[in-house]
């Protein structure tokens, strides 16, 4: 697939880091040569210097043969123009634009985005998506990731097991006898950097990062079953004053469960702007890791710290300082997947991978499969697809064991007319059934052929 990514900032870089794993021909456009140098050193892409909204620049990037264009610069209006030029002059089939401004996202103006007006096929809002991801983690203390699925009837829950986990060293087949109230389907396990689908005879270990499916109304019960319950997050401390922090502040102001929230930002102009926009959130201007500023923010009495700056190293260091200060929930946003391996050396700190959150919004566009939704999980180790079995699907009228899925993939939930079940190989799939399917990144192309 020929893909053009317009914008080599943190969002563009996170998207490219995922797209290069597939058999894609990728060109990246940016007006800053430093951004292009950085991204071309790390990934095999064609860098193009220039303003992505200019036709000549798009032409140099290969727009005439392009299958998909992603306009993800920092300016909403530029992204809109890019999609218009891509459609009018180059007839690019699929156009995705990054739009973060709430005014442009208002449902009142939804008719603006179509072939007759501004031809955008899919709008993504990475900063808002990351903020909502963080809010779900804060809502369920003890979790490392929470993804609603099946119309929010269920949830994909990520948990990092700690020493003393009551369900460790017990074969999965026997876990139900140990905890009869536990209602989960095991999706995958990440152990020492290696990801695998657990079998019934496998045992969980402390330090494992596990992904499970659980009903939406049993999330807290599931967290307790694994011994991961933590105090409610009432006092929050946010490091950084970017769009993610601002969206978090706006949502937190309307949350009666939050007793207090403070934002630390070094840039005085940004700090002033945030302070004007937020009424109940305290904004502190100063060096984020200064002892004086941290004492003023009262970090020792915070329940959660959220580091959302654009610098990965700062975010990771802030989380370490917060954990040493007694903060029970320390969240760091990372823009570079290379830092994901640090999760196994950072205790209970939580890493939110920008690339995984962002790419989940566009997976439907780059996969050759009809699906309702898709999610990148376990920091890019695999994907979860939500697929409705159609009349002409190869799976319709077959038992799961007859579909010949690769070993590194598994259907772990089926929603049919009788409700939701955890299927066996003998489970029969009928048209209209909705399945949740986990696929290891190494067998995606094989599974695409089955469900194309």
Q: What is the 3-state secondary structure (H, E, C) of 188-251?
A: EEEECCEEECCCCCCECCCCCEEEEEEEHHHHHHHHHHCCCCCCCCCEEEEECCCHHHHHHHHH
- In CATH terms, the superfamily for domain 2-124 is NAD(P)-binding Rossmann-like Domain (3.40.50.720)
pLDDT at residue 338 in the model: 61
Can you tell me whether residue 313 is helix, strand or coil? helix
146-225 CATH pick, 3.30.70.1450, 3.10.310.30, 3.60.21.10, 3.90.1720.10? 3.30.70.1450
Does the predicted TM-score (pTM) go above 0.85?
Answer: yes
* 27, 45, 55, 126 from 61: Cα distances, Å: 6, 11, 10, 24
The single residue listed with the structure tokens 């909403």 is 76
pLDDT at residue 339 in the model: 59
Question: Hey, what CATH topology would domain 235-358 get?
Answer: Rossmann fold (3.40.50)
Give the integer Cα–Cα distance in Å for 381 and 191. 12
Give the integer Cα–Cα distance in Å for 160 and 183. 18
pLDDT at residue 135 in the model: 95
**Does residue 150 come out as left (phi exceeding 0), alpha (psi in the -120 to 50 range) or beta?**
left
pLDDT at residue 346 in the model: 56
Domain residue ranges of the chain, discontinuous segments joined by +: 2-124, 146-225, 235-358, 362-451
What one-character DSSP code corresponds to residue 399? B
Can you tell me whether residue 92 is helix, strand or coil? coil
pLDDT at residue 366 in the model: 78
| CATH fold match for the domains 235-358 and 362-451 | no
Q: Just give the CATH number of 362-451.
A: 3.30.70.1450
Give the integer Cα–Cα distance in Å for 212 and 34. 41
User: Which segments in the chain show pLDDT lower than 70?
Assistant: 336-348
């Amino acid at each position: 697939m020929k893909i053009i990514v317009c914008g080599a900032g943190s969002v563009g870089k996170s998207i490219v880091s995922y797209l290069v794993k597939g058999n894609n021909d990728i060109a990246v456009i940016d007006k800053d040569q430093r951004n292009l140098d950085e991204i071309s050193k790390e990934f095999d892409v064609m860098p193009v210097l220039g303003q992505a909204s200019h036709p000549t620049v798009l032409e140099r990037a290969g727009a005439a043969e392009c299958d998909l264009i992603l306009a993800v610069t920092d300016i909403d209006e530029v992204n809109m123009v890019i999609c218009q030029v891509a459609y009018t002059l180059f007839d690019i089939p699929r156009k995705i634009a990054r739009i973060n401004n709430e005014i442009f996202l208002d449902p009142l103006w939804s008719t603006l985005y179509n072939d007759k007006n501004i031809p955008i096929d899919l709008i993504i809002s990475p900063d808002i998506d990351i903020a909502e991801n963080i809010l779900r983690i804060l809502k369920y203390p003890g979790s490392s990731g929470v993804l609603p699925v099946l119309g929010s009837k269920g949830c994909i829950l990520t948990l990092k097991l700690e020493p003393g986990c009551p369900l460790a060293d017990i074969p999965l087949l026997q876990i139900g006898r140990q905890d009869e109230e536990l209602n989960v389907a095991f999706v995958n396990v990440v152990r020492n950097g290696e990801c695998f689908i657990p079998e019934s005879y496998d045992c969980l270990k402390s330090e494992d990062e596990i992904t499970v499916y659980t009903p939406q109304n049993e999330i807290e019960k599931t967290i307790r079953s694994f011994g991961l319950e933590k105090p409610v997050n009432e006092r929050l401390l946010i490091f950084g004053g970017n769009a993610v922090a601002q969206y978090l502040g706006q949502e937190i102001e309307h949350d009666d469960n939050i007793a207090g929230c403070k934002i630390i930002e070094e840039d005085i102009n940004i700090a002033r702007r945030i302070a004007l926009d937020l009424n109940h959130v305290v904004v502190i201007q100063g060096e984020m890791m200064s002892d004086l500023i941290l004492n003023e923010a009262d970090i020792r009495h915070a329940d959660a710290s959220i580091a959302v700056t654009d610098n990965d190293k700062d975010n990771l260091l802030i989380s370490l300082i917060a954990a040493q200060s007694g903060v029970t929930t320390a969240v760091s946003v990372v823009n570079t997947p290379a830092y994901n391996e640090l999760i196994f050396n950072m205790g209970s700190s939580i890493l939110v991978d920008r690339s995984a959150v962002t790419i989940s919004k566009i997976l439907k566009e780059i996969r050759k499969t009809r699906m309702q939704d898709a999610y990148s999980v376990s920091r890019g180790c695999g994907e979860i697809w939500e697929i409705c079995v159609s009349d002409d699907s190869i799976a319709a009228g077959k038992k799961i064991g007859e579909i010949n899925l690769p070993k590194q993939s598994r259907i772990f939930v089926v929603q049919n007319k009788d409700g939701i079940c955890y299927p066996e190989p003998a489970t029969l799939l009928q048209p209209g059934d909705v399945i949740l399917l986990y696929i290891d990144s190494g067998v995606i192309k094989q599974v695409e052929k089955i469900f194309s």
